[in-house]
Amino acid sequence: MSGLNSLVGQIKNPRSKVYRRLYIKRREPGTGQYEDAWVELTDDVVKWGTIKKSVDSNKINQFKFSNITLTMDNSSGKYNDYNDENSLWFNYSDQQRTLVKIEAGFLYETKTNGIWSVTEYPSENIVYNGFISGDINIKGNNEIAIPVVPLTECFRQFSARRLTGWNSSLTASDFVEMLRDQQDGDGDYIFRPFFGDTSTGFDIQSTTVQYTNLNTSTAQDIIEATVWNVLEKLAEAENYVPYATREGTFRFVPRTLDTATVYHFIGVGGFSSYYGHTIKNVSWFGKRFNKYYSRVTVKWVDADTASSYEVAESDFRVRSDSSPWTLGERTISIENFWIPTATVAENIADSLFLEFSAIRREIEFSTSFIPHLDIFDRVLITYDPTLPTQNGVWDVYNWEDSTTAAQHDDAMIWDSSPGDGLKLNSEEFRLISIDMNLDTLECKFIGRE
């Protein structure tokens, strides 16, 4: 059984204390550098909004982090433009690109010898890192909506051609190191300020393939691209994932999936003294036909010849075990001319084929506040809302599994009830979408089989 002095214990606790905190870092006038300390604005938040992160269903290495809109009380003019002397930004630079950090979690309070001790769960309590970017509109009711974008947006807001350091032997990891160490003409770092203002804010794992097409800032693949475009292409070619962690570290690392389950969601019909009951409802559950593809093509060379493609596809047979026959043929096409070899292109095709060639079940469900889970976490779900028939024994026990007619005849075979609409008994899913509503502290997950 999980005690209250643990994260799982707090998640299942019927009555707990929770917190949400909002911090900003403004930019100094003149230098444009971020101030040293975070400024807390929690008390001014009227509406927190919803954080959403998900994985792109048609691309293997793309995480999507949502924007978030914070609604603040502006009755004292604190959130007016920086020219207004009531503004928090007065004597600082423009509100745009102000760093934003949101923390949320549980508070566990105990008292010993007259001294209160407060422990926060989880210990890594940052749920969103980003910066202000977009239209800031003051409403007539003295509220103001502050648009916040995720940290990786700084790469979308920078043209690749402005970078220095291009050369014909650049690897993907060299490129990310180039971003990490990129400076302006005065020697000030350009991207580090968004990621902790230190080189350790970048977690980069080495790659070896050299991209000769990245030899100069005026190269065809660079001249019109943003830094993020380049990152995405490289990540796809290397089977890497570019993303910012909740704590604000930028990672460029191979995509690896954990094999261990990290959490067990329990809903109606289930019981766990360790995890408690967390599922509020299941919105939908079923096989996702729109994520089924029987064929994957990866075009990795520009020339229009058969050897420019790597294809992974199911055999077509008029048989019940041939998915192109039973489900129809659907194709997903990838085009990336930065892929260095046919082998890499084949691996990409095979990875996508493995993921999407079988029709898999997905489930969307909402829970009470669970702040620590991440995309691709492997979880178990137990949910069985069917009420057993009064005095019945369905679901109680699989009495026997026999195929002999004699035993069928005497009606002693009581297998699991086929009438259950939805019955999940510790079934395994990977999380592919997580919504965290910070106003209601309700979480919504989508799991894929």
Partner 1 sequence: MEFLSQTLLQTTTQLFVSTNTITSDSIMNPDVRRQYVSSGDNSDLTTTTIRVTFDSTQTVDRIAIMETNAKQFNLFYNGVTANAFTLTSPTTTSQFTNNSATNLYLACTPVDVTSVTFDIKTTMTANSEKAVGYFYVGANELTFAKIPNSGGYTPIIDPKELIHNLSDGGTRRQTVQAKWSVKVKLKYITETFKDSLLEIYNEFTPKVFVPFGTGTAWDGILFEANWMGNFDFYKYADDATNAGFTGSIDLKET
Applying CB under 8 A, which residues contact partner 1? 13-20, 109, 111, 113-116, 118, 267-269, 277-282, 367-369, 383, 385, 440-442
Q: Residue 418 carries which side chain, given as an amino acid letter? A: P
| CB of 113 or CB of 305, closer to partner 1 | 113
| CB of 114 or CB of 187, closer to partner 1 | 114
Strand partners, 240: 254
By C-alpha distance, which of 248, 291, 263 is closest to 65? 248
CB of 104 to partner 1, least distance (A): 10
SS3 call for 250: strand
CB of 77 to partner 1, least distance (A): 16
| CB of 115 or CB of 306, closer to partner 1 | 115
Q: Which helix (H) or strand (E) holds 134?
A: none
Q: Are 293 and 408 in contact (CB under 8 A)?
A: no
Tokens standing for residue 219: 């190269």
CB of 365 to partner 1, least distance (A): 9
Q: Are 161 and 237 in contact (CB under 8 A)?
A: no
| CB of 14 or CB of 187, closer to partner 1 | 14
Tell me the HSE value of 163 on the side-chain side, using a 13 A CA sphere.
Answer: 31
Residue 189 is given by DSSP the state B
Strand partners, 147: 69
| CB of 115 or CB of 303, closer to partner 1 | 115
Supply φ then ψ for residue 7, to 5 degrees: -65, -45
| CB of 18 or CB of 39, closer to partner 1 | 18
Q: Are 300 and 213 in contact (CB under 8 A)?
A: no
| CB of 10 or CB of 152, closer to partner 1 | 10
CB of 76 to partner 1, least distance (A): 12
CB of 114 to partner 1, least distance (A): 3
Q: Are 213 and 219 in contact (CB under 8 A)?
A: yes
| CB of 198 or CB of 440, closer to partner 1 | 440
CB neighbours (10 Å) of residue 181? 15
| CB of 20 or CB of 251, closer to partner 1 | 20
Give the dihedral of Cα atoms 44, 46, 50, 51; nearest 10 deg: 0
**Residue matched to tokens 């095709």:** 349
CB of 45 to partner 1, least distance (A): 11
Strand partners, 175: none
Q: Which helix (H) or strand (E) holds 397?
A: none
| CB of 95 or CB of 368, closer to partner 1 | 368
Question: Cα separation of 163 and 155, whole Å?
Answer: 11
CB of 88 to partner 1, least distance (A): 16
Give the dihedral of Cα atoms 374, 379, 385, 391; nearest 10 deg: -160
Question: Cα separation of 202 and 196, whole Å?
Answer: 9
CB of 284 to partner 1, least distance (A): 14
Question: Between the CA of residue 230 and those of 16, 147, 173, 259, 316, what are the distances in Å?
Answer: 45, 26, 12, 30, 37
Supply φ then ψ for residue 118, to 5 degrees: -120, 120
CB of 337 to partner 1, least distance (A): 49
| CB of 15 or CB of 319, closer to partner 1 | 15
Q: Are 104 and 125 in contact (CB under 8 A)?
A: yes
CB of 109 to partner 1, least distance (A): 6
Question: Cα separation of 406 and 168, whole Å?
Answer: 77
**Radius of gyration of the chain from Cα atoms?**
26
CB of 377 to partner 1, least distance (A): 21
CB of 270 to partner 1, least distance (A): 9
| CB of 75 or CB of 137, closer to partner 1 | 75
